[in-house]
Protein backbone atom coordinates (compact mmCIF):
# COMPACT_ATOMS: atom_id res chain seq x y z
CA UNK A 1 0.00 0.00 0.00
CA UNK A 2 1.26 3.49 -0.73
CA UNK A 3 0.82 5.88 2.10
CA UNK A 4 -0.34 9.40 1.44
CA UNK A 5 2.27 11.93 2.53
CA UNK A 6 -0.23 13.16 5.08
CA UNK A 7 -2.15 10.44 6.90
CA UNK A 8 -5.80 11.21 7.31
CA UNK A 9 -6.25 12.81 10.67
CA UNK A 10 -9.97 13.32 10.24
CA UNK A 11 -12.53 11.34 12.16
CA UNK A 12 -12.36 8.38 9.83
CA UNK A 13 -11.76 4.92 11.19
CA UNK A 14 -9.25 4.16 8.42
CA UNK A 15 -6.77 1.47 9.45
CA UNK A 16 -3.25 1.56 8.03
CA UNK A 17 -1.63 -1.88 7.73
CA UNK A 18 1.93 -2.55 8.88
CA UNK A 19 4.42 -2.00 6.02
CA UNK A 20 5.67 -5.34 4.64
CA UNK A 21 9.31 -4.59 5.35
CA UNK A 22 8.67 -4.49 9.11
CA UNK A 23 8.75 -7.57 11.34
CA UNK A 24 5.52 -7.68 13.33
CA UNK A 25 7.20 -9.80 16.02
CA UNK A 26 9.99 -7.27 16.67
CA UNK A 27 8.07 -4.08 17.11
CA UNK A 28 8.93 -1.82 20.06
CA UNK A 29 6.28 -1.80 22.77
CA UNK A 30 6.94 1.83 23.69
CA UNK A 31 8.12 4.67 21.43
CA UNK A 32 9.20 8.06 22.79
CA UNK A 33 9.48 11.07 20.49
CA UNK A 34 11.23 14.43 20.80
CA UNK A 35 9.06 16.32 18.32
CA UNK A 36 11.59 18.92 17.22
CA UNK A 37 11.93 21.28 14.27
CA UNK A 38 8.55 23.01 14.07
CA UNK A 39 10.19 26.43 14.00
CA UNK A 40 12.76 25.54 11.33
CA UNK A 41 10.05 23.86 9.22
CA UNK A 42 8.11 27.13 9.25
CA UNK A 43 11.18 29.29 8.68
CA UNK A 44 12.15 27.25 5.61
CA UNK A 45 8.73 28.07 4.18
CA UNK A 46 8.92 31.75 5.13
CA UNK A 47 6.14 31.27 7.70
CA UNK A 48 5.90 32.28 11.37
CA UNK A 49 7.00 29.65 13.91
CA UNK A 50 3.42 29.32 15.17
CA UNK A 51 2.35 27.79 11.86
CA UNK A 52 5.05 25.18 12.41
CA UNK A 53 3.49 24.25 15.75
CA UNK A 54 0.02 23.98 14.20
CA UNK A 55 1.42 21.76 11.44
CA UNK A 56 3.17 19.70 14.11
CA UNK A 57 -0.20 18.80 15.62
CA UNK A 58 -1.22 17.11 12.35
CA UNK A 59 2.00 15.08 12.35
CA UNK A 60 1.28 14.03 15.92
CA UNK A 61 -2.26 12.91 15.10
CA UNK A 62 -0.99 10.87 12.16
CA UNK A 63 1.82 9.32 14.23
CA UNK A 64 -0.56 8.33 17.03
CA UNK A 65 -2.90 6.71 14.52
CA UNK A 66 -0.05 4.80 12.83
CA UNK A 67 1.39 3.61 16.14
CA UNK A 68 -2.04 2.46 17.25
CA UNK A 69 -2.70 0.66 13.94
CA UNK A 70 0.77 -0.94 13.94
CA UNK A 71 0.37 -2.42 17.41
CA UNK A 72 2.64 -0.12 19.44
CA UNK A 73 1.64 -0.25 23.11
CA UNK A 74 2.62 3.26 24.12
CA UNK A 75 3.60 6.55 22.49
CA UNK A 76 5.22 9.20 24.70
CA UNK A 77 5.82 12.63 23.18
CA UNK A 78 7.71 15.71 24.35
CA UNK A 79 5.33 18.62 23.88
CA UNK A 80 6.78 21.28 26.21
CA UNK A 81 9.90 21.19 28.35
CA UNK A 82 10.63 22.92 31.66
CA UNK A 83 13.13 25.00 29.62
CA UNK A 84 10.60 26.03 26.95
CA UNK A 85 9.21 28.75 29.30
CA UNK A 86 12.30 30.75 28.30
CA UNK A 87 10.84 31.31 24.82
CA UNK A 88 9.15 34.62 23.97
CA UNK A 89 5.84 35.08 25.83
CA UNK A 90 3.82 35.11 22.61
CA UNK A 91 5.15 31.69 21.61
CA UNK A 92 4.54 30.18 25.06
CA UNK A 93 1.00 31.59 25.12
CA UNK A 94 0.36 30.33 21.61
CA UNK A 95 1.47 26.83 22.60
CA UNK A 96 -0.71 26.75 25.75
CA UNK A 97 -3.73 27.88 23.73
CA UNK A 98 -2.91 25.35 21.02
CA UNK A 99 -2.66 22.46 23.52
CA UNK A 100 -6.03 23.38 24.97
CA UNK A 101 -7.87 23.85 21.69
CA UNK A 102 -6.47 20.64 20.18
CA UNK A 103 -7.30 18.59 23.26
CA UNK A 104 -10.82 20.04 23.35
CA UNK A 105 -11.33 19.28 19.66
CA UNK A 106 -9.84 15.77 19.70
CA UNK A 107 -10.98 14.35 23.03
CA UNK A 108 -14.20 12.70 21.85
CA UNK A 109 -12.40 11.07 18.93
CA UNK A 110 -9.55 9.86 21.14
CA UNK A 111 -12.13 8.32 23.46
CA UNK A 112 -13.82 6.57 20.53
CA UNK A 113 -10.47 5.13 19.50
CA UNK A 114 -9.90 3.78 23.04
CA UNK A 115 -6.75 5.89 23.51
CA UNK A 116 -5.58 6.07 27.13
CA UNK A 117 -4.30 9.60 27.71
CA UNK A 118 -1.80 10.65 30.34
CA UNK A 119 0.08 13.90 30.90
CA UNK A 120 3.56 13.69 32.39
CA UNK A 121 5.19 16.69 33.97
CA UNK A 122 4.72 19.35 36.61
CA UNK A 123 1.25 20.49 35.59
CA UNK A 124 0.86 23.08 38.38
CA UNK A 125 2.13 26.12 36.41
CA UNK A 126 -0.17 25.47 33.40
CA UNK A 127 -3.22 27.68 32.80
CA UNK A 128 -6.19 26.56 34.95
CA UNK A 129 -8.49 25.88 31.98
CA UNK A 130 -5.83 23.64 30.40
CA UNK A 131 -5.30 21.81 33.70
CA UNK A 132 -9.05 21.17 34.00
CA UNK A 133 -9.20 19.76 30.51
CA UNK A 134 -6.12 17.60 31.16
CA UNK A 135 -7.74 16.19 34.31
CA UNK A 136 -10.94 15.45 32.42
CA UNK A 137 -9.12 13.72 29.56
CA UNK A 138 -6.98 11.59 31.87
CA UNK A 139 -9.96 10.62 34.04
CA UNK A 140 -12.32 9.88 31.18
CA UNK A 141 -9.84 7.63 29.32
CA UNK A 142 -8.41 5.85 32.37
CA UNK A 143 -10.04 2.51 31.55
CA UNK A 144 -9.44 2.65 27.80
CA UNK A 145 -7.75 -0.42 26.36
CA UNK A 146 -6.06 1.12 23.30
CA UNK A 147 -2.67 2.75 22.88
CA UNK A 148 -1.27 4.58 25.90
CA UNK A 149 -0.62 8.16 24.81
CA UNK A 150 1.63 10.09 27.19
CA UNK A 151 2.10 13.81 26.58
CA UNK A 152 5.06 15.38 28.37
CA UNK A 153 4.02 18.92 29.23
CA UNK A 154 6.17 21.16 31.41
CA UNK A 155 8.28 18.05 31.63
CA UNK A 156 11.95 18.00 32.58
CA UNK A 157 13.91 14.88 33.44
CA UNK A 158 15.89 16.64 36.16
CA UNK A 159 12.75 18.15 37.70
CA UNK A 160 11.16 14.69 37.71
CA UNK A 161 14.16 13.17 39.51
CA UNK A 162 14.28 15.98 42.07
CA UNK A 163 10.54 15.65 42.79
CA UNK A 164 10.93 11.89 43.23
CA UNK A 165 13.84 12.43 45.65
CA UNK A 166 11.74 14.94 47.62
CA UNK A 167 8.81 12.53 47.93
CA UNK A 168 11.06 9.68 49.09
CA UNK A 169 12.79 11.96 51.59
CA UNK A 170 9.43 13.10 52.99
CA UNK A 171 8.29 9.53 53.46
CA UNK A 172 11.57 8.65 55.15
CA UNK A 173 11.37 11.61 57.54
CA UNK A 174 7.82 10.58 58.48
CA UNK A 175 9.12 7.11 59.26
CA UNK A 176 7.07 5.50 56.47
CA UNK A 177 10.06 4.41 54.43
CA UNK A 178 13.36 2.90 55.45
CA UNK A 179 16.00 4.67 53.27
CA UNK A 180 17.97 1.46 52.91
CA UNK A 181 14.96 -0.04 51.12
CA UNK A 182 15.04 2.56 48.34
CA UNK A 183 15.96 0.58 45.22
CA UNK A 184 15.40 1.19 41.50
CA UNK A 185 11.80 -0.03 41.65
CA UNK A 186 10.90 2.16 44.62
CA UNK A 187 12.56 5.15 42.95
CA UNK A 188 10.83 4.54 39.61
CA UNK A 189 7.47 4.33 41.39
CA UNK A 190 7.80 8.04 42.29
CA UNK A 191 8.41 9.17 38.69
CA UNK A 192 5.68 10.58 36.41
CA UNK A 193 6.01 7.35 34.43
CA UNK A 194 5.25 5.13 37.44
CA UNK A 195 2.67 3.04 35.59
CA UNK A 196 4.57 2.91 32.27
CA UNK A 197 7.30 0.63 30.90
CA UNK A 198 10.56 2.21 29.70
CA UNK A 199 10.72 3.30 26.04
CA UNK A 200 12.35 0.82 23.65
CA UNK A 201 12.90 3.41 20.94
CA UNK A 202 13.58 7.15 21.11
CA UNK A 203 13.03 9.15 17.93
CA UNK A 204 14.30 12.71 17.63
CA UNK A 205 13.39 14.75 14.57
CA UNK A 206 15.21 17.70 12.98
CA UNK A 207 18.68 16.21 13.30
CA UNK A 208 19.65 17.33 16.81
CA UNK A 209 21.67 14.65 18.57
CA UNK A 210 20.78 15.42 22.16
CA UNK A 211 18.32 14.39 24.87
CA UNK A 212 17.26 17.92 25.96
CA UNK A 213 16.26 16.81 29.48
CA UNK A 214 13.80 14.16 28.22
CA UNK A 215 13.12 10.96 30.23
CA UNK A 216 16.64 10.86 31.71
CA UNK A 217 15.91 7.82 33.87
CA UNK A 218 13.62 5.95 31.50
CA UNK A 219 15.81 6.13 28.38
CA UNK A 220 18.66 4.19 30.06
CA UNK A 221 18.52 1.42 27.45
CA UNK A 222 16.40 2.88 24.65
CA UNK A 223 17.62 2.60 21.07
CA UNK A 224 18.05 6.10 19.59
CA UNK A 225 17.00 7.09 16.08
CA UNK A 226 17.72 10.63 14.87
CA UNK A 227 16.15 11.78 11.62
CA UNK A 228 16.77 15.05 9.77
CA UNK A 229 13.04 15.30 8.98
CA UNK A 230 11.42 18.30 10.69
CA UNK A 231 8.55 17.21 12.95
CA UNK A 232 5.70 18.60 10.78
CA UNK A 233 6.99 16.43 7.89
CA UNK A 234 7.17 13.25 9.99
CA UNK A 235 4.96 10.63 8.32
CA UNK A 236 4.48 6.89 7.71
CA UNK A 237 7.67 6.74 5.67
CA UNK A 238 9.76 8.38 8.41
CA UNK A 239 8.20 6.16 11.09
CA UNK A 240 8.89 3.06 8.98
CA UNK A 241 12.55 4.11 8.65
CA UNK A 242 12.81 4.57 12.42
CA UNK A 243 11.29 1.13 13.01
CA UNK A 244 13.57 -0.52 10.43
CA UNK A 245 16.55 1.11 12.15
CA UNK A 246 15.26 -0.21 15.50
CA UNK A 247 14.79 -3.71 14.10
CA UNK A 248 18.36 -3.71 12.78
CA UNK A 249 19.79 -3.23 16.29
CA UNK A 250 20.92 -5.92 18.68
CA UNK A 251 19.93 -4.89 22.17
CA UNK A 252 22.44 -6.14 24.70
CA UNK A 253 21.44 -4.42 27.97
CA UNK A 254 25.04 -4.66 29.13
CA UNK A 255 25.38 -8.34 28.30
CA UNK A 256 27.55 -9.93 25.63
Binding site for Mg ion (CB under 5 A): 36
CB of 151 to Mg ion, least distance (A): 17
CB of 204 to ligand IPE, least distance (A): 8
What's the CA gap between 38 and 14, in Å, rounded? 27
Q: For residue 229, what are the CA distances in angstroms to 33, 183, 194? A: 13, 39, 31
What's the CA gap between 110 and 96, in Å, rounded? 20
Evaluate whether 119 touches 138 at the Cβ level (below 8 Å): yes
Among the listed residues 29, 69, 84, 144, the single catalytic one is 84
Q: Which is nearer to ligand IPE, 38 or 193 (CB)?
A: 38
What's the CA gap between 136 and 147, in Å, rounded? 18
What's the CA gap between 169 and 128, in Å, rounded? 29
What's the CA gap between 108 and 206, in Å, rounded? 31
Among the listed residues 11, 23, 29, 36, the single catalytic one is 36
Q: Which is nearer to ligand IPE, 39 or 157 (CB)?
A: 39
What's the CA gap between 181 and 246, in Å, rounded? 36
Q: Which is nearer to ligand IPE, 40 or 241 (CB)?
A: 40
What's the CA gap between 241 and 225, in Å, rounded? 9
211 marked as binding residue? yes
CB of 213 to Mg ion, least distance (A): 12
49 marked as binding residue? yes
Whether 36 is a known active-site residue: answer yes
Question: Which residues of this protein are in contact with ligand IPE, per CB under 6 A?
Answer: 34-40, 78-81, 84, 95, 206, 208, 210, 212
210 marked as binding residue? yes
171 marked as binding residue? no
CB of 192 to Mg ion, least distance (A): 21
Residues placed in the known binding site for Mg(2+): 36, 223
List, by residue number, the catalytic residues.
36, 84
Amino acid sequence: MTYPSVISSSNTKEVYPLPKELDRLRMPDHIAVIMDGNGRWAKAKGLPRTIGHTAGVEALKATLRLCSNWGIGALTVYAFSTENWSRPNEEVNFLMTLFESVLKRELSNLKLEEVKINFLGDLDPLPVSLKDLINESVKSTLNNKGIRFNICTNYGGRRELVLAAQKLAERSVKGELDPSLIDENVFASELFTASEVDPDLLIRTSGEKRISNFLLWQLAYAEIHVTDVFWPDFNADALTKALLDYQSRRRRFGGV
